[in-house]
Amino acid sequence: MSAKGLLEKQRTYFRSGATKPVAFRIHQLETLKKILTEHEGELISAVYKDFKKPELEAYATEIGILHDEISYAIKKLRKWVKPNRVRGTLINFPSSNFTVAEPYGAVLIIAPWNYPIQLALLPMVGAIAAGNTVVIKPSELSPNTSAVLKNIADAWYKEEFVAVIEGGVEVNQDLLAQDFDYIFFTGSTRVGKIVMEAASKHLTPVTLELGGKSPCIVDGTAKIKTAGKRIAWGKFINAGQTCVAPDYLLVHSSVKDELLKELKKSISEFYGVNPKLSPDYARIINQDHFQRLRSYLEDVKVYYGGRYKEEECYLEPTIVTDIEKDAAVMEEEIFGPILPVIVFDSIADAMHIVNSKPKPLALYLFTENSTTERLVLKECSFGGGAVNDVVSYLGNRHLPFGGVGNSGMGVYHGKSSFDTFSHTKSIMRKPTWLDIPFRYAPYKGKLKWIKRILK
Ligand code: NAD
C-alpha cells in the first residue's frame, strides 16, 4: 500500500474514534507487553545479528526499559486523561477552566539503528497511550531488527492502527511528504533538518531526538576510581553507538594520569585484554561507519586500544590523546568506541570548550565540589545529563528526555511521552446567569475599568 493510502486508512480509523477509549489504549499497551514477552528471544537475536549486541545489553536497554515504560503508562493512564482544572481570571469571571489532552491523530515515528527496538517502540508507547494511530519507519541499517518489527506489526496489528514500513531514504521521503498529524524523529542532526523541513510543508508538529558531541568533564576533586569505571561503561556500551554516550572527555590536569589508568583498568576488567573475544562487546553497525571511525585515528595519538578487524566491523575500546584543535574526532559526533581525552587547567577553560560547540544532547560532570557543579549546570546549555554518572539518567522515566538546539527539540519518557503525543486543549466554560457588559460596545466610560483589571 502507498504511504498516502496507509495514512488515509489510519486517519479514517482514527476518526472512527476507535483509538480513543481509555480501555482500548490500556488493552493495546498490555498487548505490547505481551508482544515483548512472546518475541523477546527473536528480538534479542535480531539485534545480535545486526551488530552483535550482547544479550544483557539488549534486554536492559531495549526490552526491559520498554516493559518499565509500558507498566508505568498502564498504571497512570486513567489519571493522565482526566481533564486538568486550572484557575480562572478576574477578567473572565465567572468561569470554570480546564485543559484536556486529545490525541493528534496519525503519528509517524522514524527510528535510528543504534537502539533499534527501544527507539521504535518507546515513542509508540506514548503515541498509543495518548490515543493515536502509528506508522513506524525503522532504520534500514539494522535490517534484522526491522524485519522482526515488521513481522510483529503484521501479525499483531491491523495496519489502520499500527503499521511498520521498512525501507531506506526514499521510503522515508515518501512518508515525510504525507500530512501526518505528528512526526517523532530520532536520528542525526543532518536528517533532523530534512524532517523538519518536510514537516513544515504541512505544519506538522515534530519532536526531534538528535545527537551531538556530549562532553564529560572530570575536575580535580572527582572520585577518579568511580569516574573511570562509570565513564568506561557509558562510553563502550553498545560499542559507543549511543546518542548520550560521553563523546569526549575533559579532564583536569591534576587527575589526568590517574583517570587514564582507571579507564584502562576498567576496559580490561569489562572486556578482557582482547575485547574481540568478549561476548559482551558489540560491533560497529556497518563498513561506512567503521571506516569513518577508523579515519579518526589517523591524526591523534592512541593511548589505549586502537586495534581493529575491518571484515568484522570490530574496533576495540580506544582512548586517544594529544588532540589538535582541528582534529576530525573533535568536529563530528563520534558515535563509536573512541574516547578523546583533552586536558584543562581551569573549569572556565573546560566550559569554554563545551560552549564553543553546538548545544549537546547530554553533559556529564564528575566533581565533589558543589560550587563547580552549580557553575557548570548554570553556564552550559545541554539537553540533560548527570553529575557523577553517565548515560543512566535516561532510564529515569520521571526525567523528560530530549535535546536542545542542535541536539533536538521536545521531550519524552514517562508522562512526557503522553504529553508529547497529545494536544493540550484549553477550555473555558461560562455560565449564562451573568453577563458583565464591559466588553460590549458602546465602550464609553468602560476603559478605566478595563485598565483597573488588566494591569
Ligand atoms: P540517521 O539520521 O542517519 O537516520 C535516522 C532515520 O532517518 C532512519 O530511519 C533513516 O532511514 C532516515 N533517513 C536517513 N537519511 C535520510 C534522508 N536523507 N531523508 C529522509 N530520511 C532519512 O541516524 P542514524 O545513523 O540511524 O542514527 C544515529 C544518529 O541518531 C546519531 O546522531 C545519534 O546521536 C542519533 N540518536 C539520537 C537519539 C536520541 O534519543 N536523541 C537516540 C539514538 C540516536
**Would you state the pLDDT for residue 438?**
86
Domain boundaries, the chain: 3-210+408-427, 215-395
272: cell is 578482557
Q: Which of 160, 209, 262, 333 is catalytic?
A: 209
Same fold, 3-210+408-427 and 215-395: no
**Would you state the pLDDT for residue 224?**
98
Residue 103's nearest CA partner among 134, 73, 75 is: 134
| 136 CA distance to ligand 1 middle (Å) | 13
Which residue from 47, 69, 172 has its CB within 8 A of the most atoms of ligand 1, so it is best to mutate? 172
The CATH superfamily holding the domain 3-210+408-427 is Aldehyde Dehydrogenase; Chain A, domain 1 (3.40.605.10)
**Would you state the pLDDT for residue 437?**
87
Q: Which residues of the chain have pLDDT under 50?
A: none
The pLDDT > 70 percentage for the chain reads 100
**Would you state the pLDDT for residue 346?**
97
**Would you state the pLDDT for residue 260?**
98
From the CB of residue 276, how many other CB atoms can be counted at a distance below 10 Å? 15
**Would you state the pLDDT for residue 189?**
97
Helix or strand or coil: residue 182?
strand
**Would you state the pLDDT for residue 326?**
86
d(CA 249, CA 222): 13
**Closest atom of ligand 1 to CA, residue 403:** 41
- Type of residue at 289: H
**Would you state the pLDDT for residue 299?**
87
From the CB of residue 316, how many other CB atoms can be counted at a distance below 10 Å? 21
d(CA 455, CA 447): 12
User: Ligand 1, atom 8: nearest CA belongs to which residue?
Assistant: 139
Is position 243 annotated as part of the catalytic site?
Answer: yes
Pocket (CB within 6 angstroms of ligand 1): 110-114, 119, 137, 139-141, 168-169, 172-173, 186-188, 191, 194, 209-211, 243, 333, 335, 361, 403, 408
The residues, any chain, with a CB within 8 Å of residue 368's CB and separated by 6 or more, are: 221, 222, 223
DSSP H or E stretch at residue 163: strand 162-164
Residue written as cell 544483557?
A: 56
| 100 CA distance to ligand 1 middle (Å) | 33
Alpha helices by DSSP H, listed for 81-142, are 118-129
User: Ligand 1, atom 35: nearest CA belongs to which residue?
Assistant: 187
> Which class in CATH covers the domain with range 215-395?
alpha beta
Residue 439 Ramachandran class (φ > 0 left, ψ -120 to 50 alpha, else beta):
alpha
Which residue from 141, 142, 145, 191 has its CB within 8 A of the most atoms of ligand 1, so it is best to mutate? 191
**Would you state the pLDDT for residue 27?**
98
Model pLDDT for residues 188-229, shown as the tens digit of each residue = 999 999 999 999 999 999 999 999 999 999 999 999 999 999
